[in-house]
Chain A
Amino acid sequence: MPRSRFLTVLALVLSLLAPRMAAALGKAELVDLLKSVDERQRNQGDWRDLVYIEQKEKDKVDVAYEALVFRRSQDQKFIILFTKPKASQGQGYLRIDKNLWFYDPSVGKWERRTERERIGGTNSRRSDFDESRLAEEYEPEDLGQEKLGAYTAQVVKLTGKPEIDLAFPVIKLWVDKETKNVLKRQEFALSGRLLRTSYYPRWKKVYSESKKTDVWYPEEMRFYDEVEKANSTLILVKSVDMRPLEPNLFTKAWLESKSR
């Protein structure tokens, strides 16, 4: 169903600031590290960038988008505003609290989805749209070191805590030893079946004005669906801009005013 395709793209765009991981051997240290990763992600500051997304799906034509992403980590708000192709121009997603709004300028209509509903009858879950809570939701386990091309990676296995309903009960992360960035991530079902493999081959540093320090971001992300092998997604991040955002940006009025 094409709807799921669009939402996957959206969810992947949101995972833009993927967690940065550091290698550690002890369990307690791993938990601490996950905590700091989550904490750091929550305090990423104001963020603006241009993303290019390509989605391939079985028996369907390829889809490509260009979109502007505005994100404020402080209150977990974001806007995704599509700029290309023409058919999608001006359409946008706005997240405020637990609401995800979709706006289509060609009809001037807002559509709200709450977290309670299954979005558009698909299997998209709320966790796809949430911030990373690895430290709270998973138990880490050290799997030693592994070569990944020219890199040496620390491999960490994360197992979901039993009382939490998670989209992916098991996650494996390959973390670059030197920079502590996630290079590869695999998600598994409870049965151990591999569901998705993602790669983050190019990490870049940028100076954040709101944080007064360098912030890392993955310039390229590739997602390969391991269940439906023909499906894959590529996201490229360009023109990252860390200047503070206008305070009234995350409102319906703002998005409306931009396409009216």
Chain B
Amino acid sequence: MRGYLDTLKVIALIALRNLFASRLKTLIVGGIILFGSLLVVVGTALVDSVDASMSRSVIGSVAGHIQVYSSKSKDELTVMGGMNMESPDLTPIDDFAALRRTLLGVPNVKAVVPMGLSSAIVTAGNTVDVVLERLRDLARRRLAGEDVQAAYESEKDHVRQIIKVLSADMDNVRKIQNEKAISQDDLAAAAKAASEELWAGFDRDPYPALEFLENRIAPLASDADMLFLRYLGTDGDAFAKSFDRMKIVDGTAIPRGQRGFLFSKWVYEQQVKLKTALRLDRINDGISKRSKTIARSEELQRWIKQNVTEVKEIMLQLDGQKTASFRRLLQGELGSQQSDVAKLLSEFFRVDDANFAHRYRFFYDKLAPQLELYRVRVGDMLTIKSFTRSGYVQSVKLRVYGTFVFEGLEDSHIAGELNLMDMVSFRELYGSLTPERAREVQEIKTMAGMKEVSREQAEAELFGKPDLGETAPIGRAGDEAEAVLRSLAGRQQREDRASQPYDPAQLEQGDVLNAAVIVKDPRRISRTIKDIEAAGAKAGIPLRAITWQKASGLVGQFVTMIRAVLYISVLIIFAVALVIINNALVMATLERMPEIGTLRAIGAQRRFLLGMLLVEALAVGVLFGSLGALLGAGIVGVIGAAGIPASNDILYFLFSGPRLHPSLSPANVIISLAIVLAVSAISSIYPGLLAMRVSPRQAMQSDD
């Protein structure tokens, strides 16, 4: 034992002496090793941190650990971060209860959440449409004897105010452009709408006037807005239990057994909020969060310009009383005598760096409370119309219960574009083709006597024999229509169905498009995926199971990509290092041939020589590798304290928030050192072999 230690001591001394003897060479080799190990430590720490933060957010928001869907589906599933707006085309899984049973039978599965992804365009109508719709409803209720007189009068007043705003607007356009800029028809319509005749009989019979206003006046306001809604149908309770990142911001969650809709806060702000207010928020964010100034930022100036010119959106919201109130408030704030509220508003929104903060507060404190800041408010009914998978239009009316965010992903549109809906309404809107529906289509075809005629045969079949000019028997579609119309009576279900609860058991019985699986042990995800697919095959439900990375789309796989790039760069660096160290050692060996020969002559074994070179290489590796790791740890520490800002949306998603604070794990350092030692050891093999081949005689001869 003691002999070994002594040998080792001698080997180490010789190795160190050699390293010092060729300092420059040692430094070059060491520098490469230092850089490599630094890269490994910093790179793996960064990628691990992104991976960890993103996995927490993605797993905890929508995806779960594993997503499961039918393997018969045409498209691949992405629950968020899909690059196109269309939802993936998935084949529904008919029986969620059976799917859940099958999945819960897999050992590592903890919970299963039913899901479905789809999207719809909601045409909310313009401001005038919305107001007229309310007036129509109030007029109907008033005629039916309900006590809504005050609200009715106020809405009526609002409509008359709108007509004034639109007329003034048309006059302006005529002044700025030319007399012909507005058609005579539109001018006449506006004049008629403002006339006393139209309003004189309104209380008695409002419908003809309403039809006129809806068809001729509403189209004049061109602020019609379409909401593009991507929504996830799910079981609200199970969702809230399994996804801890979801937090309600306004209102409440959808109560159990109720139909309802939750807006993502991001969508609610970006799409539903009054555009003027949204632009003020953006200017505020630009100044306070991104240190921009109005004077220097063209973007902020553009928003201000839009606010100044687009005051009609606000004007249309004001009835007589509010107009007066706005006039008073704005005159006071601006110290102006101007009586035209539109001009006052334009002036108010013409902000600069000095007065922005004050006006921003004034807007929210004084003006906003009198405005409808959001086109759809929490508590309102939202009608969503969709084209079902069976090809037909289906609408549902849902109460908006509130808004929510996924914590850590608040400002990311990739996660923020997803709204939530109860699963029962989702199924209605999705409208899979049931055997019953297919039969109905077949019946219509049979009843009408529809015959297939192929494109190629069309002319021969259709024009083969003359069939023109016969006098048709006079049809009685009118009578048939009456009968059909009578049978339609009572179809209208209005709000009652939206507020009727459904039996929670219905959630279990119907179909789902996909399901999120939460596992007990996240380290065994790939094993569980195999188990799930096997269990599905056994139960007769053809399933495809994917990891959360895959389910979060291209962006989700970004981390895997970055990791691959990192590993490849590390591989290249160490391959280079290996060659250089190897060459350095070979050269050193050749230079020291006489010495090696002498050592051999005085009895050094071949193993001794190999050990000598190995220690030499390892010493460089350990020294510079440790230095590199230490430096890397320092860098990670500094970055960790300061944080890397997420400068764009994709980074925001990857970082799961505005900043990434990477942290170092022992694994990062251990991996780095292990790689360095392995490379050092490998690079000493060839020079070692060279040295071992040297015989004492050869070595001494070559000295000459």
A→B interface (CB under 8 Å):
1-3, 5-6, 48-50, 52, 54-55, 57, 60-66, 68, 70, 81, 83-91, 96-99, 104-114, 116-117, 120-121, 148-151, 176, 178-179, 181, 183-184, 197, 199, 201-207, 214, 217, 219-220, 222, 224, 229, 232, 234, 236, 238-243, 251-253, 256, 258-260
Closest B residue to A60 by beta carbon equals: B391
Q: How far is the CA of A161 from the CA of B393 in the complex (A)?
A: 37
Shortest Cβ gap from A117 to chain B (Å): 7
Once the chains bind, are A150 and B477 in contact (CB under 8 Å)?
A: no
Interface window among B166-174, B292-300, B464-472, B642-650 = B464-472
Beta-carbon contacts of B434-456 to A below 8 Å, as 1s and 0s? 00011011001101111001010
> What residues on A are CB-neighbors of B494 within 8 Å?
107-108
Q: Which candidate, B195-203, B382-390, B525-533, is the interface stretch facing chain A?
A: B382-390
* B450–A236 CB distance below 8 A: yes
Q: Which of B395, B450, B490, B493 contacts A54 (CB 8 A)?
A: B450
Given A3-B387, A54-B445, A240-B475, 14 extra CB contacts under 8 A: A48-B481, A64-B441, A64-B444, A66-B444, A106-B394, A112-B219, A148-B463, A150-B463, A178-B468, A179-B469, A206-B474, A217-B472, A220-B462, A243-B478
**B390 x A87 contact (CB < 8 A):** yes
Report which of A64, A106, A151, A229 forms a contact with B463, defined as CB distance below 8 A: A151
Task: For the complex formed, measure the closest distance between the CB of A191 and the CB atoms of chain B, giving whole angstroms.
Answer: 21
Q: Which residues of A contact B488 (CB under 8 A)?
A: 83, 89-90, 105, 258-259
Say yes or no: A204 contacts B471, CB within 8 Å: yes
Please give the distance in Å from B181's CB to the nearest CB on chain A. 15
Bound CA–CA A87/B121 (angstroms): 19
A-B contact pairs, 15 of them (CB 8 A): A2-B388, A3-B387, A48-B477, A60-B391, A61-B390, A63-B441, A87-B431, A107-B397, A107-B493, A109-B383, A109-B395, A178-B468, A222-B462, A224-B455, A238-B475
Task: Return the contact of A205 from the options B449, B470, B485, B493 (Cβ within 8 A).
Answer: B470
Give the CA-CA distance A6 to B383 in the complex, in Å.
19
Residues of A within 8 A of B396 (CB): 106-107
B472 touches A85 (CB 8 A): no
Q: C-beta contact mask, B476-489 vs A, less than 8 Å → 1, else 0?
A: 11111100110011
Decide if A183 touches B477 in the complex (CB within 8 Å): no
* A31 to B123 Cα, complex, angstroms: 41
Of the listed stretches B35-43, B207-215, B305-313, B333-341, chain A binds B207-215
Chain A residues positioned under 8 Å from B224 (CB to CB): 114, 117
Q: Which of B214, B444, B467, B477 contacts A65 (CB 8 A)?
A: B444
Interface centre among B218, B431, B460, B476 (most CB of A within 10 A): B476
Chain A contacts for B389, CB-based, 8 A? 61
Chain A CB within 8 A of B459 CB: yes
Which residues of A sit under 8 angstroms from B207, Cβ to Cβ? 251, 253
Q: Which of chain B's residues have a CB closer than 8 A to the CB of A199?
A: 458-459, 462-463
Interface centre among B389, B433, B466 (most CB of A within 10 A): B466
State the Cβ distance, A224 to closest chain B Cβ, in Å: 5
CB distance from A82 to the nearest CB of B (A): 9
A63-B391, A201-B463, A222-B453 given; A251·B385 CB < 8 A: no
Contacts A106-B493, A178-B468, A183-B463 given: A251-B211 contact, CB under 8 Å? yes
Give min CB distance, B128 to chain A, whole Å: 10
- Decide if A206 touches B475 in the complex (CB within 8 Å): yes
Selected contact of A239 from candidates B222, B392, B476, B493, CB within 8 Å: B476
User: Does B492 belong to the interface (CB within 8 Å)?
Assistant: yes
User: Are B469 and A205 in contact (CB-based, < 8 A)?
Assistant: yes
- Name the CB-closest residue of A to B473: A206
Give B441's nearest chain A residue, CB to CB.
Answer: A64
CB distance from B531 to the nearest CB of A (A): 33
Q: Is A97 a contact partner of B468 (Cβ separation < 8 A)?
A: no
Q: Tell me whether B481 and A149 are in contact (CB under 8 A).
A: no
A14 CB, min distance to chain B CBs, angstroms: 17
Chain B 335-394 residues near chain A, CB threshold 8 A = 383, 385, 387-394
Most interface-central of A63, A252, A253, A258 (chain B CB within 10 A): A258
On whether A232 and B455 interact (CB within 8 A), knowing A2-B391, A83-B484, A150-B466, the answer reads: yes
Q: Is chain A's interface secondary structure helix, strand, loop, or mixed overall?
A: strand
Known: A64-B445, A68-B477, A234-B450. A149 touches B459 (CB 8 A): yes
- Selected from B222, B463, B472, the residue in CB contact (under 8 A) with A204 is B472
Q: Say yes or no: B449 contacts A236, CB within 8 Å.
A: yes
Closest chain A residue to B384, Cβ basis: A107
Q: CB-CB < 8 A to A87: which residues of B?
A: 388, 390, 392, 394, 431, 437
B125 contacts the other chain (CB 8 A):
yes
Digit string of B116-157 for contact with A (CB within 8 Å is 1, else 0)?
000001010100010001000000000000000000000000
Give the chain B neighbours of A253 by CB distance below 8 A. 207, 211
Residues of B within 8 A of A150 (CB): 463-466
- In the bound complex, how far is the Cα of B393 from the Cα of A100, in angstroms? 16
CA distance A105 to B488 in the complex (A): 9
- Distance in Å from the Cβ of B386 to the closest Cβ of chain A? 9
Expressed in whole angstroms, the Cα–Cα distance for A61 and B388 within the complex equals 11
| Nearest-Cβ distance from residue B206 to partner chain A, whole angstroms | 10
Write the nearest CB–CB distance from A63 to chain B, whole angstroms.
Answer: 4
Q: Is B413 an interface residue (CB 8 A)?
A: no
Query: What CA separation (Å) do A87 and B438 show in the bound complex?
Result: 12
Is B289 engaged at the interface, CB distance under 8 Å to the other chain? no
User: In the complex, which residues of chain A have a beta carbon less than 8 angstroms from the beta carbon of B498?
Assistant: 107
Assess the A242–B474 pair: CB atoms within 8 A.
Answer: yes
Contact partner, B489, options A83, A239, A259, Cβ 8 Å: A259
A259 touches B491 (CB 8 A): yes
- Interface assignment of B256: CB less than 8 Å from any CB of chain A: no
Chain A CB within 8 A of B216 CB: yes
Contact, CB under 8 Å: B121 / A107: no
Name which residue of chain A comes closest to B486, CB basis: A258
Residue in B391, B455, B471, B492 whose beta carbon sits within 8 Å of that of A259 in the complex? B492
B-side contacts of A97, CB under 8 Å: 215-216
Known: A241-B475, A252-B214. A84 touches B391 (CB 8 A): no
Q: Are B458 and A85 in contact (CB-based, < 8 A)?
A: no
**Residue on B nearest A240 in the bound complex, by CB:** B475
The listed residue (A5, A112, A149) touching B464 by CB distance below 8 A is: A149
Quick one: given A201-B467, A204-B470, A260-B489, are A48 and B444 in contact (CB under 8 Å)? Answer: no
A104, B123: Cα distance in complex, Å: 13
CA distance A236 to B458 in the complex (A): 16
Closest beta carbon of chain B to A236's beta carbon, Å: 5
* Nearest neighbor of A176 in chain B, beta-carbon distance: B468
Q: Give the docked Cα–Cα distance between A206 and B470 (Å).
A: 9
A106 touches B475 (CB 8 A): no
A85 to chain B, nearest CB (A): 4
**Chain A positions within 8 Å of B471 at CB level:** 204-207, 214
Asked if A239 contacts B492 (CB within 8 A), the reply is: no
Indicate the member of B391, B441, B470, B495 with the most A CB atoms within 10 Å. B391
Task: Choose from B215, B465, B497 the contact partner of A96 (Cβ within 8 Å).
Answer: B215
Contacting B123 at CB < 8 Å: which of A99, A113, A202, A238?
A: A113
CB contacts (< 8 Å) of B393 on chain A: these are 6, 88, 91, 104
CB neighbours of B464 from chain A (8 A):
149-150
Contact of B444 with A114 in the complex, beta carbons under 8 Å: no
Interfacial chain A residues near B433, Cβ < 8 Å = 61
Q: A107-B396, A149-B459, A149-B463 are in contact. Are A52 and B450 (CB under 8 A)?
A: yes
- Alpha-carbon distance A199/B453, docked complex (angstroms): 11
Residues in chain B near residue A201, CB distance under 8 A = 462-463, 467
B219 touches A98 (CB 8 A): yes
Cβ–Cβ < 8 Å partners of A206 in chain B: 471-472, 474-475
**B448–A66 contact, CB under 8 A?**
yes
Complex CA–CA separation, A56 to B440 (angstroms) = 16
Chain B residues near A5: list those with CB within 8 A.
387, 391
Interface centre among B440, B470, B478, B494 (most CB of A within 10 A): B478
Are B448 and A236 neighbours in the complex by a CB distance under 8 Å?
yes
User: Do B469 and A148 have beta carbons less than 8 Å apart?
Assistant: no
B343 CB to closest chain A CB (Å) equals 27
